[in-house]
Amino acid sequence: MLHHYEAPVEDLLFTMREVAGLHDVLALPAFDMCDEALVQAVLEQAARFASDALAPLNRSGDREGARLDGAEVRMPAGFQAAYASYVEAGWGGLAADPEYGGQGLPRLLWTAVQEMWKAANLGFSALPQLTLGAVEALMAHADEALRQRFLPRLVSGHWTGAMALTEPQAGSDLSAIGALATPHADGSWRLVGQKCFITYADHDLAENVVTLVLARTPGAPAGVKGLTLFLVPKWLVDDDGRLGARNDVRYHSLEHKLGFHAGPTGILNFGDAGGAVAYRVGALHNGLPAMFVMMNDARFSVGLEGVGLADRAWQQARAYAHERVQGRSAGSPASVPIVQHPDVRRMLLTMKALTEAMRAFAAVLASARDLGSAHPDAGECARQQRQVDFLTPVFKGWCTETGVVVANLGIQVHGGMGVVEETGAAQYLRDARAATLYEGTTGIQAADFVGRKLARDQGQAAHAVLAQMRDTVDVLGGIAAPAFATLQRDLRRAVEALANATDSALAQHARQPAAALAVSVPLLELWGTVIGGWLLAHGACRAHALRQDPSRPQRYGAAFLDAKVATARFYGAHLLSRATGLADIVCEGAAACLDDAATL
Amino acid sequence: MLHHYEAPVEDLLFTMREVAGLHDVLALPAFDMCDEALVQAVLEQAARFASDALAPLNRSGDREGARLDGAEVRMPAGFQAAYASYVEAGWGGLAADPEYGGQGLPRLLWTAVQEMWKAANLGFSALPQLTLGAVEALMAHADEALRQRFLPRLVSGHWTGAMALTEPQAGSDLSAIGALATPHADGSWRLVGQKCFITYADHDLAENVVTLVLARTPGAPAGVKGLTLFLVPKWLVDDDGRLGARNDVRYHSLEHKLGFHAGPTGILNFGDAGGAVAYRVGALHNGLPAMFVMMNDARFSVGLEGVGLADRAWQQARAYAHERVQGRSAGSPASVPIVQHPDVRRMLLTMKALTEAMRAFAAVLASARDLGSAHPDAGECARQQRQVDFLTPVFKGWCTETGVVVANLGIQVHGGMGVVEETGAAQYLRDARAATLYEGTTGIQAADFVGRKLARDQGQAAHAVLAQMRDTVDVLGGIAAPAFATLQRDLRRAVEALANATDSALAQHARQPAAALAVSVPLLELWGTVIGGWLLAHGACRAHALRQDPSRPQRYGAAFLDAKVATARFYGAHLLSRATGLADIVCEGAAACLDDAATL
């Protein structure tokens, strides 16, 4: 049972319904065709696919890895059959526009499903994620001819997507991009350049790969304002959608990475034989905003890697802790399963509480994305979208860092077996580790958060979230059960520390931007930590209400609801306790960081 | 320069002299033959050996790994020559008893040297560490005949040591050990059984391997009180010390580990051909106390792995941050080395501050070990030894956990390159990860700390350390420079939080031991964090005094001394800030952890 994955369907449904407003999302006209019964049915089918088709390939995919055979990528055994089933079942089009063959279901549902793919098999999961990102970017910026030619096959999953931004000299700083596209007589372009850290730009699971590439054009302005977005197919596609010749784009090499072995990542060469055929996506010199549609989706999805891997690590650690008999507990003469030892409980509850908190954050953000794109009221759309913009860097940064923390604890629960690769726990740490780097490091997320998301509206979006947190503090105060008194105290203390730290960061940013940047990651961690506690507390209030009211439908088990309260209380005592210390760093730590005497 | 290792000789000397009382150690009669000039000369020679002989084999050793060839372990290329130089230079006998060929130098010095071996090449470093541990156990418990037969060749390094405690069903709980030794007519014993997670019990670097083994004897009492310690050589040794037949002890298999690839670890079989020849070490049924001599030394040395790997990770991250040009800093038109970005500074200073804090902790503990074993006054010996006993689990637990934290940050500084194995940063995390598990997990250290070290003397040893911390708070208050005012505030707050948490843990332990265990790891982390800040603050006071007084010898550079102050201040603002939150967990977190409603 150690390597089994069982999707957390009950907790996903609880979180979507009770914390993330599934009802409000389903009430949107765009989702007329969807109801709660369909949501539950999709989750249950996805859970089976994740457990039965994807999870069994996770360790073998890690061991075998993707490899370069000449210039072609060969995927690990079993991935072809799994991907074929994935396409056949129509999973790829779940959240895509029905006009291009998608099912148009809410992102809130797609997010829950994507968590399962991440947890079951991270290496596999990046392929549908990149494809949906490419679909979104093309939907937002490509002209109709390009959409008609590429979208239906991408939505169905017969073709897949990739994105290519980074170059050796242009990582966090895209202004240094040097790849060059020149116009061709037939209206297409020819692209020459080298990109690095490019994932799934070639593989043998689908008929074609469509890579979106940021490049310069002749005479374009310097910096990011001279970048244009291009579409480069692996195989050329004629006007009727038939595949033609192999395009001039190939992997030069694949990286030997710490984790994520099943996913191919490497250096991608464009134009070794003269120039890759490329099609412009959107307006000239508007590449960065166009690419950011895909990038923001990717940031959300990479944040989900933290959630999924944390859940998988927690499931395995829990199974091991029930199985492994070692040591006596106080007062017991015989050896006991280690789950009975208080410190093992502490580790497991930390893993569980952080995982459920991240899951709730993902659901709330996904729900805001649905409301922000599909609400009939334009003002509400804009309000939700501001919340999405504000929270996305926190979600990406905090969930990926927390994924590493949880996977690390998972190893610890296994004792010495934790570092034996066959156990499987180490793979989750290796797989989780890259997520804090790709699609913008945690430092880049924090700089975006403090410099743009927080400062640009002078903290308005921040205070809107803080007000919602204070509402939850008030609701907690109205519940008489003893767990809620300590949870209220813990959450109130944390929220007030967060409010102070946020105001302090704003003031520092106005006075000395470098000071705000020096404490930006602690501020991001603080926001993530308190959001997690707030949403678990909100869920605990709902769980308590459902438990008390005999007239409510008995959707959830009594032990499940009691555990939601207990987990929130644990989060309050063991995780929210970090908040005041993080706030102290934000308020007082910049000077020590920028002190010239601290030589490096 | 990225993979170069440069031993921190200046900081080691500063720490030994100004923080750890090198003068007092050298004043002991046992170290008559040693003076500061010798200490410095040894450090400089060791630094060269670490950089030139060991560091270049670190990545190749990781890639190649130790492997099993039939039943014999083959070490990676280059290790034989490096070990031969090590033996020839006499490094093995540095701290060993001169009666058996050692040089009898202080542990304080050996600790600094061992940090270098750990940093330069973790895989190599375990071999001298295990050998010295075996020497200590034999010195303390073996009879004179056994000592004469085995110690001189172990001290010289021509033979090496290993220890074998763990069995599949007996990990943290040694009472379940089943290996059986039966007496033989010639006075020796025959040992049969299987041990797991055994390191360096076979290899091709030395002429013989001596493994110390815990086993039962016929009719022995159940549990740990029925265990006896045995010595099992790989090659039999006759009375004149000549090697004879191959003994009946062999690796069954080696583990495929996350890190520490160059060091062989695996399942060791005794007696597959009838019984391994074994010699009893110490009294019957006194095996556990005898083995604990080796185990306590191993705990200290594994703690040093955290220090060494943190330093190595920090050195590489710093080099990369100076080399890698990316992004603009505020107000600068051109791209800059990333070391200029505030968040990169924060990460590097966190790595540096934690590394120097751990180094100071190691030196203070090593100094107390010297004083505790060699002070002419028996009362002072006992006082120092109590401090050693009290601090060892904190040192082992905190430094190994912190080593993981620092190595993880090292990856982060490298951005996407951090997870590319050729970069080298990922190896430090992989290598650091096992240290929180071996020789007792962090949870086992914390249980020992709270249940034995803290509770047995009702907090007396704890309060002795707290009093020293408060003395430092007072000294800080007497220094007018502004950095000291914030440092004093940060340290005072942390020390008082620590005092409260310690008293709370004692009270909980008296009332409900499980509650104290539930918060024992946060308590251990709190102790480690505050000790680190205290010792850096103490060093900052010394640095300030040396900087101010023109009549003092100019041993250290001005920038070095200023950086000691700045680093301590940074630690105060960014690391000591964790103390109040950890104390809150200790004081208030047990109930949430033990709550039955929190189902697992």
Which structure tokens are listed for A57?
């390939």
Residue B351 predicted with pLDDT over 90: yes
Tell me the C-alpha distance between B435 and A416, whole Å.
9
Provide the pLDDT confidence category of residue A349 given band limits of 50, 70 and 90.
Answer: very high
**pLDDT at position A76, please?**
98
Compute CA distances A189 → A170, A226, A238, A275, whole Å. 22, 16, 15, 9
E runs forming strands in B271-415: 276-281
Tell me the C-alpha distance between A27 and A14, whole Å.
18
* B292 exposure class (CB count in 10 Å sphere: 0-12, 13-18, 19+): middle
Q: How many domains in chain A? A: 1
**pLDDT at position B362, please?**
98
Q: What is the DSSP letter of B471?
A: H
Query: How are the residues of chain A apportioned to helix, strand and coil, as percentages rounded to the nearest 5?
Result: 65, 10, 25
**Better pLDDT: B154 or A3:** B154
Q: Tell me which amino acid residue B412 is.
A: Q
**pLDDT at position A1, please?**
59
Provide the pLDDT confidence category of residue B291 given band limits of 50, 70 and 90.
Answer: confident
Residue A407 predicted with pLDDT over 70: yes
Is A536 in CB contact (< 8 Å) with chain B?
no
Is B349 in CB contact (< 8 Å) with chain A?
yes
Distance from CA of A423 to the nearest CA of B (A): 10
Nearest residue of chain A to residue B593 (CA atoms)? A346
Phi, then psi, of A69 in degrees rounded to 5: -115, 100
Nearest partner of A82 among A115, A118, A125, A41, judged by Cα = A125
**Residue B351 · residue B339 · CB < 8 Å:** no
Residue B472 predicted with pLDDT over 80: yes
Candidate list B439, B496, B525, B588, residue with the active-site label: B439
- SS3 category, A127: helix
**pLDDT at position B329, please?**
78
Tell me, yes or no, whether B480 lies in a domain: yes
Residue for token pair 């492997």: B67
Which range has the worst mean pLDDT, A325-329, B60-64, B122-126? A325-329
Compute CA distances A349 → A322, A569, B167, B242, whole Å. 14, 11, 28, 57
Provide the pLDDT confidence category of residue A321 given band limits of 50, 70 and 90.
Answer: very high
Residue B553 predicted with pLDDT over 90: no
Tell me, yes or no, whether B482 lies in a domain: yes
Provide the pLDDT confidence category of residue A421 given band limits of 50, 70 and 90.
Answer: very high
Tell me the C-alpha distance between B254 and B251, whole Å.
7
**Residue B386 · residue B371 · CB < 8 Å:** no
Percent of chain A with pLDDT over 90: 92
pLDDT digits (tens, 9 = 90+) for A93-144: 999 999 999 999 999 999 999 999 999 999 999 999 999 999 999 999 999 9
**Residue B48 · residue B4 · CB < 8 Å:** no
**Residue A16 · residue A22 · CB < 8 Å:** yes
Q: Which residues of A touch B411 (CB under 8 A)?
A: 258, 433, 437
Tell me, yes or no, whether A557 lies in a domain: yes
Verify whether the Cβ–Cβ distance B593 to A570 is below 8 Å.
Answer: yes
Provide the pLDDT confidence category of residue A330 given band limits of 50, 70 and 90.
Answer: low
Q: What is the DSSP letter of B239?
A: T
Nearest partner of B356 among B113, B541, B564, B498, judged by Cα = B564
The helix (H) or strand (E) run that includes residue A404 is helix A378-413
Determine if residue A122 is left, alpha or beta; phi over 0 gives left, psi from -120 to 50 gives alpha, anything else beta.
alpha
Distance from CA of B245 to the nearest CA of A (A): 33
pLDDT digits (tens, 9 = 90+) for B90-123: 999 999 999 999 999 999 999 999 999 999 999 9
Mutate to test the interface with B, among A62, A409, A419 (most CBs of B within 10 A): A419
pLDDT digits (tens, 9 = 90+) for A258-269: 999 999 999 999
Mean pLDDT to the nearest integer, B402-416: 98
Interface of A with B in 425-444 (CB under 8 A): 426, 429-430, 433-434, 436-438, 441-443
**pLDDT at position A552, please?**
72
Mean pLDDT to the nearest integer, B345-357: 98
Tell me the C-alpha distance between B349 and B317, whole Å.
11
How many residues does this entry show for chain B? 600
Q: Shortest CB distance from A437 goes to which of B259, B415, B559? A: B415
Angle between helical axes of A342-374 and A558-574 (0-180°, round to 10): 100
Mean pLDDT to the nearest integer, A576-587: 98
Residue for token pair 């100019």: B554
Tell me, yes or no, whether B461 lies in a domain: yes
Tell me the C-alpha distance between A162 and A151, whole Å.
14
Residue B86 predicted with pLDDT over 80: yes
Tell me the C-alpha distance between B429 and B5, whole Å.
16
Mean pLDDT to the nearest integer, B3-25: 96
How many residues does this entry show for chain A? 600
Verify whether the Cβ–Cβ distance B577 to A589 is below 8 Å.
Answer: yes
Tell me the C-alpha distance between B228 and B177, whole Å.
11
Q: Shortest CB distance from A573 goes to which of B172, B335, B585? A: B585
ipTM confidence score: 0.97
Tell me the C-alpha distance between B265 and A18, whole Å.
49
Mean pLDDT to the nearest integer, B62-78: 96
Mean pLDDT to the nearest integer, A440-463: 95
Tell me, yes or no, whether A251 lies in a domain: no
**Residue A114 · residue A125 · CB < 8 Å:** yes
Residue A71 predicted with pLDDT over 90: no
Tell me, yes or no, whether B470 lies in a domain: yes
**Better pLDDT: A296 or A33:** A33
**Residue B255 · residue B266 · CB < 8 Å:** yes
**pLDDT at position A309, please?**
98
Q: Tell me which amino acid residue A129 is.
A: Q
pLDDT digits (tens, 9 = 90+) for A181-193: 999 999 999 999 9
3-class DSSP string for B173-192? CHHHCCCEEEECCCCCEEEE
Residue B370 predicted with pLDDT over 90: yes
Tell me the C-alpha distance between B173 and B162, whole Å.
20
Distance from CA of B60 to the nearest CA of A (A): 15
**pLDDT at position B156, please?**
97
User: Is B439 annotated in the active site?
Assistant: yes
Tell me the C-alpha distance between A393 and A396, whole Å.
5
Compute how many other C-beta atoms are within 10 angstroms of the C-beta atom of residue B207. 11
Distance from CA of B558 to the nearest CA of A (A): 10
Domain span at B587: 441-594
The rounded mean pLDDT for chain B is 96
Tell me, yes or no, whether A561 lies in a domain: yes
Mean pLDDT to the nearest integer, B430-443: 97
Predicted TM-score of the model (pTM): 0.97
Tell me the C-alpha distance between B277 and B183, whole Å.
10
Provide the pLDDT confidence category of residue B1 given band limits of 50, 70 and 90.
Answer: low
3-class DSSP string for A435-458? HHCCCCCHHHHHHHHHHHHHCCCC
Q: Which residues of A touch B322 (CB under 8 A)?
A: 600
Nearest residue of chain A to residue B342 (CA atoms)? A518
The rounded mean pLDDT for chain A is 96
**pLDDT at position B330, please?**
67
Mean pLDDT to the nearest integer, B421-428: 97
Tell me the C-alpha distance between A477 and A495, whole Å.
14
Q: Which residues of B touch A585 (CB under 8 A)?
A: 573-574, 577
Verify whether the Cβ–Cβ distance B518 to A584 is below 8 Å.
Answer: no
Nearest partner of B288 among B229, B211, B217, judged by Cα = B229
* A347 exposure class (CB count in 10 Å sphere: 0-12, 13-18, 19+): buried
**pLDDT at position B551, please?**
79
Phi, then psi, of B180 in degrees rounded to 5: -120, 130
pLDDT digits (tens, 9 = 90+) for B221-255: 999 999 999 999 999 999 888 999 999 999 999 99
**What are the counts of helices (DSSP H) followed by strands (DSSP E) for chain A?**
20, 12
Phi, then psi, of A408 in degrees rounded to 5: -65, -40
Interface of B with A in 163-182 (CB under 8 A): 166, 169, 171-173, 176
Count how many Cα atoms sit within 13 Å of the Cα of residue A163 in the half-sphere of its side chain: 31
Provide the pLDDT confidence category of residue B332 given band limits of 50, 70 and 90.
Answer: confident
**Residue B215 · residue B177 · CB < 8 Å:** yes
Candidate list A18, A64, A115, A439, residue with the active-site label: A439
Tell me, yes or no, whether A477 lies in a domain: yes
